[in-house]
Structure 1
Amino acid sequence: MLLWLRYQRDAPGEPISVAAGEGHAADMQPLPPRSGMPGAWLTVGLRPVRAGLNIVTAVADCEITVTNAGDAPAEAIRAALVLISAHGGQSGDIDAANAEPIVRPVVSPFALAPGEERTFRSVAASQIDALPTMRAGGREMLVPLVVLNLQHRDTAGLEHRTSQAFVLGVERVDSPKLAPFWLDSLRMIDQVAARPSGAALRRRVTTAAAGVGYIS
């Protein structure tokens, strides 16, 4: 199911919340299962440990689990994590993040045999003044989007990219919806969760002098 965002006032005096697809807020969010395709098939779960805002930056500390659900090894796996924000033109920002070469992976490159998985932590941060924000009820809010890119090499030496965006929000005790981060409340929060934003994007990579190219 594609993630959908809705900003609404649940009742007078209550904060605006972010509604997402089905699933428990604290659960890891896997990508769709492999569909009979041969070769390596990477799936990912992302769990934000804590996230929030300070005067200068938006920060998300995340636990990431990568699994090879395919029938062949995935070699030289590199991971990159980018923090952007939800807004009307977010699809362009996600596309730009997905197109970035992975020059400095967040962990050393690793390999996964079929059925193996690896879990690691990574922190993504961006300057608040570079992120689009939204206003509601006279208050300014930020809805972080974490874009995760995985690139691996198959046994034939071809490069493949798996990309997935996740929306982050504050868990609420009175609702399954996620609340946004308010810019008039600068702090780190432990009670956060993630929802996949759209479906995973999987492409074969061709390197070029101008950057990264993709073959669908």
Structure 2
Amino acid sequence: MITVLAGVNGAGKSSIGGSALRAIGQDWYNPDEVARELQRRFPGLPVNEINGRVWREGLNRLELAIRTDAHFAFETTLGGNTITGTLLDAIAIGVRVDVWFCGLASVDLHIQRVAERVARGGHDIPEELIRKRYRRSMRNLCRLAPGLDQLIVYDNSLPLKRNHKPQLRKLLQVRHQRLLHCETDMPSWAKPIAAVCLEHFNS
């Protein structure tokens, strides 16, 4: 089984999905945490090299879990083709894949949330990369959706609480090829995935 915590940078996937996994005693591959550890151990290593190592390690672990039928949970923006293609291949051979996807009302809100994270001492992501991932992430989620065992989509656009905790709104949920929940007042950013789910799944 593969559990995917997905969403463009700043969406809150670590806070939401990661916290939920740890609450039930599970861990997940968090690229940001691994990158911070590499920076601590190798302070002179260029950021792009660190990011490359972290990405390759995550892909290697995903591929190993698929080959050995092991459980693996990891975090991704779904902004590229390699991870999406690997997940599609896994689905094709019968691997169970669950996706928890977090989104925000606009790409500008993603950029703002990343800037707020940087102000609190977190890591930065170039604006142009966030914009590119925003365009690709939903497209890739729509490609994956028909084969997923479970999909939960959250909107995290409401202002964060004072303790930086999210105020979530669950937009839709699919489980075992059945549409269990779909908000009637769907925000614009989530309408593409809602349309795919309404087309492919029975309620």
Give the TM-score band, short-chain normalised.
Answer: under 0.3
TM-score of the aligned structures, taking structure 2 as reference length: 0.27
Larger Cα-atom Rg? 1
TM-score of the aligned structures, taking structure 1 as reference length: 0.26
Structure with the largest fraction of helix: 2
